[in-house]
Amino acid sequence: MAAFHELVGLDLRSLAARLATGSPARSELEAQQWLAVVQLLTAHILRDAVELSGGDWPLVTRAYAYAVETAIAAGDFDHREKTYRALHLSSDLLWQVPANPDIELLDPHRMTELLIRELPMPVERARARAEHWTTLERPEILVLRIAKEFLRPGLRLAHLAHGEQLPEPLKSWEELFPSLP
């Protein structure tokens, strides 16, 4: 329990340095505390992003990866949540700082590839289901909603990566976006 309270009082660089070295260990915090660490680190990153130097970003991203992977291993987080958070964090960061191809979270091309890889279904299937989504079973509606939640930040990232002329399947996803539940 003391380890969590110590983390809460740290600034971004101190928190990132600690997490990037694998401290605390997964067993030192409860699952809900790991989720709180991810949220705390994300808030610090967003708050301090413009002040970070190029040399700070590798440390911060290693810390973020460790916190997220440890939260998943602790059981209060899953792969879908990891993707959702990464897309949103990247999109929010790129409002504040320039793109950087050396840092995944700051690379709209890599984040767009993540979006395409992690969308829960092909755009053709989503289009066929979106036409009559009100008649679908709850689990099928949920999959369409997951796609929409990934697309909210993902389409912004795609435009940062590709400009106004999105390649397929991104163009089709953007056209379908308003029809998703």
pLDDT of residue 2: 56
| Whole-angstrom distance, CA of residue 72 vs CA of residue 35 | 9
Predicted TM-score of the model (pTM) = 0.93
Residue 81 reports pLDDT greater than 80:
yes
Domain boundaries, the chain: 1-77, 79-181
| Whole-angstrom distance, CA of residue 110 vs CA of residue 15 | 26
Q: Which class for 56: exposed (0-12), middle (13-18), buried (19 or more C-beta within 10 A)?
A: middle
What average pLDDT does the chain have? 96
Q: What angle do CA 162, 167, 169 make, to 5 degrees?
A: 130
- pLDDT above 90: percentage of residues in the chain: 97
Q: What is the pLDDT of residues 38-75, one digit of tens each?
A: 999 999 999 999 999 999 999 999 999 999 999 999 99
Q: What is the pLDDT of residues 126-170, one digit of tens each?
A: 999 999 999 999 999 999 999 999 999 999 999 999 999 999 999
| Whole-angstrom distance, CA of residue 132 vs CA of residue 140 | 11
CA distances, 10 to each of 13, 16, 110, 128, 131 (Å): 8, 9, 30, 49, 49
| Whole-angstrom distance, CA of residue 126 vs CA of residue 129 | 5
- Residue 10 pLDDT class (50, 70, 90 cuts): very high
